[in-house]
Amino acid sequence: MTHDPGPPPWHCLDEESTAAHLESHLGAGLSADAAATRLAQGGPNVLIETGRRHPLLMLASQFTDFMILVLIAAAVIAGVVGEPQDAVAIVVIVFLNGIIGFVQEYRAERAMAALKKMASPQARVIRGGRPDTIDATHLVPGDLVELEAGNIVPADL
């Protein structure tokens, strides 16, 4: 029995195959109508931003996972039955896990904020066979984007 691997990954496709899959044209790009339709269907090209959480809430959320609560209960039980060394070891492990999780989440939130600031406000595209400068939030799948040395590239391009 043969296994169908499916379509090749995007990075393995040549230009013609990619343009055909995206229903775009290598020379002319998308028409203005096609771009407007895709923008209406897919929405603007922006990172979805959730409300920023206070660092104390981020730290507290590290201790609400089911397995962490089980470990805390185990530490309490160990302390009650007279095994203080086990209780202390479990508490230290839970505390270190919480700190590491907090640091990772805090850094990820800061990285998202930095990406949003760095996002390219404008992009040069070819639409309808003509070069045009548009707001990067209006980029859609199938757009042909002109890049030059020194350009800031929209992160998801």
Per-residue exposure over 36-46, b if at least 16 CB sit within 10 Å of its own CB, e if not? eebbeeeeebe
For residue 12, give both structure tokens. Answer: 């393995």
Instruction: Report pLDDT digits (tens) over 81-136.
Output: 989 999 999 999 999 999 999 999 999 988 887 877 776 578 889 998 999 988 88
pLDDT at 76: 94
Contacts (Cβ under 8 Å, ≥6 apart) of 91? 72, 75
The secondary structure of residue 65, as a DSSP letter, is S
Instruction: Report pLDDT digits (tens) over 58-85.
Output: 889 999 999 999 999 999 999 999 899 9
Contacts (Cβ under 8 Å, ≥6 apart) of 148? 124
- Dihedral (Cα; 30, 36, 41, 47), 10-degree rounding: 90
Single-letter residue type at 149: A
pLDDT band at 2 (very low <50, low <70, confident <90, very high): low
Residue keyed to tokens 């229903």: 23
